[in-house]
Amino acid sequence: MQSRRSTDHSNPGQQLLLADLARDWKFLPRLSHRPRRIMVFVNPFGGKKKGLKIWERDVQPLMNIAEVETKLMITERAGHIRDTLLAASMDDIQAVVCVGGDGTFAEVFNGLVLRAAKDMQIDPNDPDVNLPTPNLPVGVIPSGSTDTVAYSLHGTTDVQTAAIHVIFGDSTGLDLSSVHNNHSLVRLYASVLSYGYLGDVIRDSEKFRWMGPQRYDYSGFKKIIANKGYEGEIELLSDPCHPAGSTRCMENCTRCLQHMHNTVPDKEISRWLTVRGKFFMVNGANVSCACSRSPLGFSPHCHIGDGCVDIILIRHTSLLNNIRVLLRLTSKHKTLYDLPFVEVYRAREFTFRALPTLHGQPGGEINSSRLISELSVWNCDGEVIQDPDVKIRVHCQLLKVYTRRVQEPIVEPSCFCST
């Protein structure tokens, strides 16, 4: 079913899918696993507020041609999707599709997992519980500001590519990571959990939502100038596979397939590590976190279904180094892995505890009365989590998502090839 052809390197994901589509469309009636009745949530508010237009112009016509019945809901407020999924009858539904950004997708999977937990009488607030797998697969159609999950899954934020993934019904298992505070489950995330600089940016940028996606540039500039670093302690259950030495996660990824079949002896090969210090950022990446602005993302070798997060710890050093980090994140070729003030781990779970920050007096002495705690917040898939002290656990392939994954483009020889 898959083709491996690419000539347009500006958007290889879309090009591959269109080639697939032309050839595979005639097989559509024979695909028994494709969804015929879907529940669609459209967020008209995220990104450039084009969610509804994208649905009506680009997605709905494709669903009509493919004879997919849709039950549409346009969201009216934050939390609307989650609340609906907790209560709705879903007996006649075969999949849930969202048109929105990372926050919209997060509402869908948080709602589905909590619904499954409620139905099975599992307490999600227990940080050691095995959360139940939702019955329904999810389609992610991007119309947000960053759309990290869609980009990391499909290799493009092309809307029709994402819609075609739903129509053909090819799915794969996506890890979800739970975030608990001292009392309860705060939420699950699929993209990244980030403390420090990106936490400061998301907290500040919410005040400037009227600016659209540019709010991130504005708050990003303010907060990099103001950053003084945050003290903290991370305890992590490390996996022996180091991200820098790992393969890229693509179509038919061996590492994810092994974890799907539980052929990896988990806990025996993991060990606990403790890291303390002052950090510019502490990140737990559940996927590569690639997006159009950051083509490789935080951790280009992160796997979507191996039961691990990649932890990227960026030490507090200088403003210049902080700017180097941001420049690296926009690079198409270089990763964060080899910067001397960056430490990278692959982990199955981790905890973070904020430590008090010592502030020196102008004379250079440290006065214990000025021992104050400077805290950031967590940026969790673009939403703010206030509690600095959290426990994170990865739930291997908890959610089925519609995607054919990123395929390795085969560069066709051209007459300008060097010999």
Ligand X SMILES: Nc1ncnc2c1ncn2[C@@H]1O[C@H](COP(=O)(O)OP(=O)(O)OP(=O)(O)O)[C@@H](O)[C@H]1O
Q: Which residues bind ligand X (CB under 6 A)?
A: 43-47, 75-78, 80, 100-104, 107, 144-147, 382-383
User: 14: how many CB neighbours lie within 10 A of its CB?
Assistant: 20
Nearest residue to 173 (alpha-carbon basis) of 389, 405, 369: 405
φ, ψ for residue 416 (rounded to 5)? -95, 5
The CB-of-196 to ligand X minimum distance in angstroms stands at 18
User: 108: how many CB neighbours lie within 10 A of its CB?
Assistant: 26
The CB-of-7 to ligand X minimum distance in angstroms stands at 29
Nearest residue to 103 (alpha-carbon basis) of 304, 389, 385, 413: 385
Kindly list the catalytic residues.
102
The CB-of-145 to ligand X minimum distance in angstroms stands at 3
> What's the Cα-to-Cα distance from 323 to each of 170, 212, 283, rounded to whole Å?
40, 23, 17
Sort strands 383-385 and 309-315 into parallel, antiparallel or unpaired.
unpaired
Q: Please give the full DSSP string across 39-93, using - where no structure is assigned.
A: EEEE-SSSTTS-HHHHIIIIIHHHHHHTT-EEEEEE--STTHHHHHHHH---TT-
Query: What is the rounded CA–CA span in Å between residue 209 and residue 285?
Result: 24
The CB-of-382 to ligand X minimum distance in angstroms stands at 4
CB closer to ligand X out of 6 and 84: 84
CB closer to ligand X out of 185 and 201: 201
CB closer to ligand X out of 104 and 407: 104
> What's the Cα-to-Cα distance from 99 to each of 34, 292, 406, 417, rounded to whole Å?
19, 18, 20, 41
Q: Hey, what are 142's tokens?
A: 């991007």
CB closer to ligand X out of 47 and 297: 47
The CB-of-377 to ligand X minimum distance in angstroms stands at 15
Residues recorded for the chain: 419
CB closer to ligand X out of 45 and 352: 45
Query: What is the rounded CA–CA span in Å between residue 113 and residue 184?
Result: 15
Q: Which residues of 387-409 are buried (b: 16+ CB within 10 A; e: fewer)?
A: bbebbbbbbbbbbbbbbbbbbeb
The CB-of-146 to ligand X minimum distance in angstroms stands at 4
CB closer to ligand X out of 188 and 342: 188
> What's the Cα-to-Cα distance from 76 to each of 80, 98, 380, rounded to whole Å?
7, 14, 22
